């Protein structure tokens, strides 16, 4: 593996590991706020015990999330130095705001949540809990604004004098439609994750015959919040599909393994076997109109296929080469306004020309065959995207069904009547994490070969370091993170096994 592949592997491993903790933090923070709100409204002490118990598990998860998240940001300097140099003026701003606004807010109110129960009034502590939840969600917002810009780089422009991307409209970066869609979709998935966590652990207590009143209340909150969140994930995922259909057409085509343009109204492939050699999908089962409605919000617009998009990429590479050649001249004669005007005509395609750097250093002399190879390199890994997306969606619909049943049993007071349902809740425990990790694979794998879509190829973002250094750091990260995982699992299972030992058991018909 070369330095690019190793750097990508390291970031992927640390990101996927870190994201084991992020969604649970998001989900539990809101659930804690809901439970404490009920406590303040009813003054029933069992609800305080619910908040305190689930708060302990939240605290363990929060600490692990912080420990694994900090190392990710260091990698932008160690492994992706040229990426940081080239787009840091844009990408760095949301990261800085996240640290100053969101993380400090979150960290401050974590302390108040755990240590100020006897120092604050009920209402004051409730406000602290909701501010903790707000800080947690704001952290996700700013990170996803940064990631959304990588997917759809609005509000910025290449500066020929500094040879960097610079912000031209921060409001456009902030209200990037891709970022906004990713944020609401991601936090909703986190809420589902937290709800399944509470539902599954409560189901374990019900199966064991322990803390039944505590478990019923926890399951009731998780069922209601989880059902609403799971439905939101589907609706907001549809919005993410639409923004991708407008701005990342190759990602949509790869998810569908759609080599040829699909005429309107485009059908969605429910099942199929992608054949890369033949450029087709075998044994297709299609649902009419669905893809067209998701990707174009219409029934009369076709959805472009991979082959057409490769052709468009080839044209943009040609335009980008014009920009690159003009840029070389501008560097020699920076006061020539005619050259700068010519550069402005093609500068938005400069990143496409840089794809040729993978095939030869002097890209201005690229051959037609090399331009064709560069255009073909814009195709992401089709089978990975095709199957990851379908497994993710399948899990999502299973979670909706589970929460719907849980909500019905909660409303009819039958949560403890059917052991098959309790076992289903327990066995569902890992599925939200699997779906979320698959979702990130779709989002990030689908962006390849770009670090920033249309702006900087991934291969041009790495640091000038050795493969040996990156390999050594990967080994170190895997060792350290494995130790953290063991500690995390040990602490979680310890407190789950102990349970809310001092919980006050209220009558079954209590609020």
Residue 349 placed within a domain: no
Tokens of 231: 């439905």
What does the pLDDT profile of the chain (511 residues) look like in tens digits?
Answer: 789 999 999 999 999 898 889 999 999 999 999 999 999 999 999 999 999 999 999 999 998 888 888 888 888 888 999 999 999 999 988 988 887 777 788 888 999 999 999 999 999 999 999 999 999 999 899 999 999 999 999 999 999 999 999 999 999 999 999 999 999 999 999 999 999 999 999 999 999 998 999 999 999 999 999 999 999 998 888 888 899 889 999 999 999 999 999 888 899 999 999 998 888 889 999 999 999 888 998 888 999 999 999 999 999 999 999 999 999 999 999 999 999 999 999 999 999 999 999 999 999 999 999 999 999 999 999 999 999 999 999 999 999 999 999 999 999 999 888 999 999 999 999 999 999 999 999 999 999 999 999 999 999 999 988 889 999 999 998 898 888 889 988 999 999 998 887 543 433 433 3
What is the number of structural domains in the chain?
1
Residue 360 placed within a domain: no
Whether 44 and 510 have beta carbons less than 8 Å apart is answered as yes
pLDDT on residue 400: 96
Residue 490 placed within a domain: yes
Return the exposure string of 18-57: e unless at least 16 CB atoms fall within 10 Å of the residue's CB, then b: bbbbbbbbbbbbbbbbbbbebbbeeebebbbbbbbbbbbb
Residue 177 placed within a domain: yes
Calculate Rg over the CA atoms of the chain.
Answer: 25
The H or E element containing residue 432 is: helix 431-445
Q: Using CA atoms, how far apart are residues 205 and 462, in angstroms rounded to an integer?
A: 49
Tokens of 247: 């701005």
pLDDT on residue 507: 39
The H or E element containing residue 196 is: helix 177-208
User: Which pTM value belongs to this model?
Assistant: 0.93
- What residue numbers bound the domain in which 75 lies? 3-160+169-251+379-497
pLDDT on residue 503: 42
Pairing of the two strands 456-457 and 450-452: antiparallel
Residue 56 placed within a domain: yes
Residue 237 placed within a domain: yes
Whether 486 and 107 have beta carbons less than 8 Å apart is answered as no
Residue 336 placed within a domain: no
pLDDT on residue 502: 52
Q: Using CA atoms, how far apart are residues 282 and 17, in angstroms rounded to an integer?
A: 34
* Beta-bridge partners for 280: 275
Our CA dihedral for 136, 138, 143, 149, rounded to 10 degrees, sits at 160
- Give the length of the chain: 511
Q: Using CA atoms, how far apart are residues 462 and 370, in angstroms rounded to an integer?
A: 22
Pairing of the two strands 268-275 and 280-287: antiparallel
Residue 210 placed within a domain: yes
Q: What CA–CA distances, in Å, run from 463 to 6, 41, 394? A: 11, 55, 39
SS3 of 222, please? helix
Q: Using CA atoms, how far apart are residues 52 and 37, in angstroms rounded to an integer?
A: 13
């Amino acid at each position: 593996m070369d330095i690019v592949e190793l750097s990508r592997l390291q970031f992927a491993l640390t990101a996927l590991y870190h994201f084991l903790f992020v969604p649970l933090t998001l989900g539990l923070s809101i659930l804690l706020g809901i439970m404490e709100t009920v406590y303040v409204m009813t003054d029933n002490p069992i609800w305080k015990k619910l908040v305190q118990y689930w708060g302990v598990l939240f605290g363990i998860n929060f600490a692990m999330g912080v420990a694994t998240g900090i190392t990710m940001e260091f990698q932008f300097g160690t492994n992706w130095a040229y990426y940081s140099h080239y787009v840091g003026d844009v990408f760095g701003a949301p990261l800085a705001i996240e640290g100053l606004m969101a993380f400090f807010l979150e960290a401050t109110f974590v302390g108040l949540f755990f240590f100020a129960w006897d120092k604050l009034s009920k209402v004051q502590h409730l406000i602290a809990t909701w501010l903790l939840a707000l800080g947690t969600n704001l952290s996700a917002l700013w990170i996803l604004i940064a990631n959304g810009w990588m997917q759809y780089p609005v509000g910025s422009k290449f500066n020929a004098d500094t040879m960097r991307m610079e912000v031209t409209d921060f409001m456009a970066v902030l209200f990037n439609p891709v970022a906004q869609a990713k944020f609401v979709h991601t936090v909703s998935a986190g809420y589902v994750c937290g709800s399944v966590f509470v539902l599954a652990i409560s189901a374990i207590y019900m199966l064991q015959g322990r803390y039944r009143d505590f478990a019923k209340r926890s399951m009731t909150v998780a069922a209601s919040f989880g059902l609403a969140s799971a439905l939101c994930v589907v609706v907001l995922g549809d919005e993410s599909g639409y923004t991708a259909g407008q701005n990342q057409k190759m990602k949509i085509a790869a998810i569908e393994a759609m080599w040829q343009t699909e005429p309107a109204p485009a059908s969605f492939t429910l099942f199929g076997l992608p054949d890369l050699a033949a450029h087709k999908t075998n044994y297709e089962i299609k649902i009419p109109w669905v893809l067209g409605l998701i990707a174009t919000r219409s029934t009369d617009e076709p959805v472009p296929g991979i082959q057409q998009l490769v052709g468009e990429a080839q044209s943009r590479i040609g335009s980008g080469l014009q920009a690159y050649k003009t840029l070389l001249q501008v560097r020699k004669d920076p006061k020539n306004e005619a050259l700068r005007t010519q550069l402005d005509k093609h500068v938005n395609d400069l990143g496409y020309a840089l794809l040729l750097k993978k095939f030869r250093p002097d890209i201005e002399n690229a051959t037609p065959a090399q331009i064709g190879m560069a255009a073909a390199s814009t195709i992401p890994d089709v089978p990975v995207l095709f199957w990851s997306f379908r497994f993710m969606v399948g899990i999502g619909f299973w979670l909706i069904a589970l929460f719907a049943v849980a909500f019905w049993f909660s409303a009819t007071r039958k949560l403890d009547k059917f052991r098959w349902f309790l076992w289903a809740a327990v066995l569902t425990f890992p599925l939200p994490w699997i779906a979320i990790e698959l979702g990130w694979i779709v989002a990030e794998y689908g962006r390849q070969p770009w670090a920033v879509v249309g702006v900087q190829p991934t291969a041009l973002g790495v640091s000038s370091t050795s493969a040996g250094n990156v390999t050594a750091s990967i080994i170190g990260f895997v060792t350290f993170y494995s130790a953290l995982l063991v500690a995390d699992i040990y602490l979680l299972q310890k407190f789950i096994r102990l349970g809310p030992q001092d919980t006050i058991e209220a009558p079954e018909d209590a609020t």
